[in-house]
Amino acid sequence: MPIMPDISTHGWWLDWSLLIISMVTLLVGILSFALIILALIYFRQSKNPTPTRHLSGWITRLIILDISMIIFDIIIAVFSTWGWAETILKSEESLEAKHGEALTVNVTGRQFFWAFDYAGGDKAFGTADDFTLGNDLVVEKDRLVVLNMTSGDTIHSFFVPHLRVKYDVIPGRTTRVWFVPKKAGEYPVLCTELCGLGHYKMLSNVRVLEPDDFDSWLDSRTVTLSENPGPLRSGGPGQSQTVHVSDSKDGSLGARADRNVGVTPRSQ
């Protein structure tokens, strides 16, 4: 049914919610247009030469119509709120209780790239083994991923169609999305907020690795490269940082990230 393949665990109900909302909206649209056409024919001037203000026979029918519209609205509101509550309102604790330990990644949107901060092997942010990837989000298959997102400049929007996540990334605020990827592979990350002249090239990717591959990938992220934390980092100056910016295949996106944030790329 969905046009874009879904590799998330939660995407099925999002797809169904959208389908049901679309079908209900279509039905209401067809019904509304049919009623307008019916009224134009039934109350045409040639049949009703004298206009009337009295709709005595129509009041019941209008009430039934109003009630059915309210029921349609309630259906749409229930499905929309359900989707919103499932994705946004759940606390990290309740997500971890359901899906197991989360991989937490701090995301920063900037003109015009994405930076992904990892806590490293010790799973704690603000320590020496933290590292940052430019335009490359690496996650583990079948493991809960929680993204805490903010922006370094203007409003961006983080969108991964295959994972059914899309949320605004706002300066001065932290927004959160979560997902559990169930298929290994590489999938595009897009910015869906017009964030400036380079918005069109704000492309990134998410790599979903098998658990073993993810563990060995994480173990390999241990090269300390820069004394300068750069504007992406939250640590103080002089603190030793592990910063890997270029993991993209051709290095072009990473190279742009380096130029913008002034950190040293890690050659692969």
In the complex, which residues of this chain contact Cu ion (CB under 5 A)?
Answer: 156, 191, 195, 202
Query: In this complex, which beta carbon is closest to Cu ion, that of residue 144 or of residue 169?
Result: 169
Kindly state the DSSP code that residue 87 receives in the 8-state scheme: I
Could you tell me the smallest distance in angstroms from the CB atom of residue 231 to Cu ion? 17
Query: In this complex, which beta carbon is closest to Cu ion, that of residue 130 or of residue 193?
Result: 193
Q: How many CA atoms lie within 13 A of 235 on its CB side?
A: 23
Taking the C-alpha atoms of residue 30 and residue 25, their distance in angstroms, rounded to an integer, is 9
Could you tell me the smallest distance in angstroms from the CB atom of residue 193 to Cu ion? 5
Q: Pairing between strand 136-140 and 203-209?
A: parallel
Query: In this complex, which beta carbon is closest to Cu ion, that of residue 147 or of residue 209?
Result: 147
Which has the closest alpha carbon to 140: 250, 243, 216, 86? 216
Which has the closest alpha carbon to 225: 115, 120, 119, 131? 131
Query: In this complex, which beta carbon is closest to Cu ion, that of residue 160 or of residue 191?
Result: 191
* Residue whose structure tokens are 């380096």: 258
Query: In this complex, which beta carbon is closest to Cu ion, that of residue 105 or of residue 149?
Result: 149
Could you tell me the smallest distance in angstroms from the CB atom of residue 18 to Cu ion? 24
Could you tell me the smallest distance in angstroms from the CB atom of residue 5 to Cu ion? 24
Query: In this complex, which beta carbon is closest to Cu ion, that of residue 180 or of residue 195?
Result: 195
Could you tell me the smallest distance in angstroms from the CB atom of residue 234 to Cu ion? 21
For 105-122, the DSSP string reads EEEEEETTEEEEEE-TTT
Could you tell me the smallest distance in angstroms from the CB atom of residue 108 to Cu ion? 11
Q: Classify 251 in phi/psi space as left (phi over 0), alpha (psi -120 to 50) or beta.
A: left
Which has the closest alpha carbon to 103: 92, 94, 112? 92
In sequence order, the β-bridge partners of residue 118 are 131
Query: In this complex, which beta carbon is closest to Cu ion, that of residue 138 or of residue 195?
Result: 195
Q: 258 with 248: CB under 8 angstroms? A: no
State the DSSP H helix or E strand holding residue 246, giving kind and residue range, or none if neither: none
Could you tell me the smallest distance in angstroms from the CB atom of residue 178 to Cu ion? 21
Taking the C-alpha atoms of residue 103 and residue 21, their distance in angstroms, rounded to an integer, is 32
Taking the C-alpha atoms of residue 213 and residue 103, their distance in angstroms, rounded to an integer, is 15
